[in-house]
């Protein structure tokens, strides 16, 4: 997909976000086309997670424009935003530790038609099928991450926000998350991904936005990564 915002599912323009008096995002603009996987790359503290939290209204003080399928999100009550078709998988995963896998999957409300059935989720994440009656506290870190992703797939959300889905996971689990993201893309999901691992991002994404100190400083199509490796090394400290 070309870098035009005309067919964007998510379009962000001149977004400024604040925590108290701290100005974190500065006139940030980027877009995600329907069916794309787009990553936000940058060093720690660059503003990647703040961008995701701003989309959802979790950052209360923000200005600019955030449009989902043409509908402006800035100014909407926070509870209304996920109902428009956004699923969020935070870095801390946020599963219910006292509930088992099935209970965690069935708890979130359905917001739109077209969500994945349990059978489809278990085909995507076979580990969860094997651990269906296991409490969240007894799942491995990788299984918890799979469960956190799987929960939003049931809801009917079309735009999935994934914050650091591979952090701290074993390589074999990272491979499974990669396969899941590829499968979701093939099924028409749109994904905005925050990642520290450039290597992982380069395997799944169509385009990469580079954030530095709260500014978008570059956009690199995945096909141009090899030719722009020196620039990436400078931005990311690789």
Question: What is the structure's pLDDT at 164?
Answer: 94
DSSP reduced 3-state for 134: coil
Give buried/exposed letters for 198-222 (b at 16+ CB in 10 A, else e): bebbbebbbbbbbbbebebeeebeb
Question: What is the structure's pLDDT at 6?
Answer: 46
Mean pLDDT within 64-88? 95
Q: What is the CATH number of domain 8-236?
A: 3.40.50.300
Check whether 22 has a pLDDT greater than 60.
yes
The pLDDT confidence band at residue 238, using thresholds 50, 70 and 90, is low
Between 121 and 4, residue with greater pLDDT? 121
Q: pLDDT for 155-193, tens place per residue?
A: 999 999 999 999 989 999 999 999 999 999 999 999 999
- Quick one: what percent of the chain has pLDDT higher than 90? 80
Report the candidate in 162, 167, 166, 1 with the shortest Cα–Cα distance to residue 87.
Answer: 162
Token code pair at residue 141: 């870190």
Mean pLDDT within 9-34? 97
> Picking from 63-72, 120-129, 152-161, 196-205, which range would have the lowest pLDDT averaged per residue?
196-205
């Amino acid at each position: 997909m070309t870098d035009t915002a005309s067919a964007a599912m998510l379009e962000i323009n001149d977004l400024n976000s604040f925590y108290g008096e701290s100005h974190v995002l500065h006139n940030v603009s980027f877009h995600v086309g329907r069916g794309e996987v787009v990553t936000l790359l940058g060093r720690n503290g660059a503003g990647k997670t703040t961008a995701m939290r701003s989309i959802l209204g979790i950052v209360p003080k923000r200005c600019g424009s955030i449009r989902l399928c043409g509908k402006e999100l800035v100014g909407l009550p926070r509870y209304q935003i996920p109902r428009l078709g956004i699923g969020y998988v935070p870095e801390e995963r946020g599963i219910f530790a006292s509930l088992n896998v099935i209970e965690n999957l069935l708890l979130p409300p359905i917001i739109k038609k077209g969500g994945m059935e349990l059978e489809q989720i278990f085909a995507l994440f076979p580990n969860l099928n094997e651990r269906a009656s296991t409490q969240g506290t007894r799942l491995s870190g990788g299984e918890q991450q799979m469960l956190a992703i799987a929960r939003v797939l049931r809801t009917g959300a079309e735009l999935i926000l994934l914050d650091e889905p591979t952090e701290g996971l074993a390589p074999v689990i990272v491979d499974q998350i990669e396969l899941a993201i590829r499968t979701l893309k093939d099924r028409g999901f749109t994904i905005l991904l925050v990642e520290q691992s450039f290597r992982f991002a380069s395997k799944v994404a169509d385009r990469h936005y580079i954030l530095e100190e709260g500014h978008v400083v570059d956009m690199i199509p995945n096909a141009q990564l090899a030719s722009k490796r020196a620039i990436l090394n400078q931005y990311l400290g690789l």
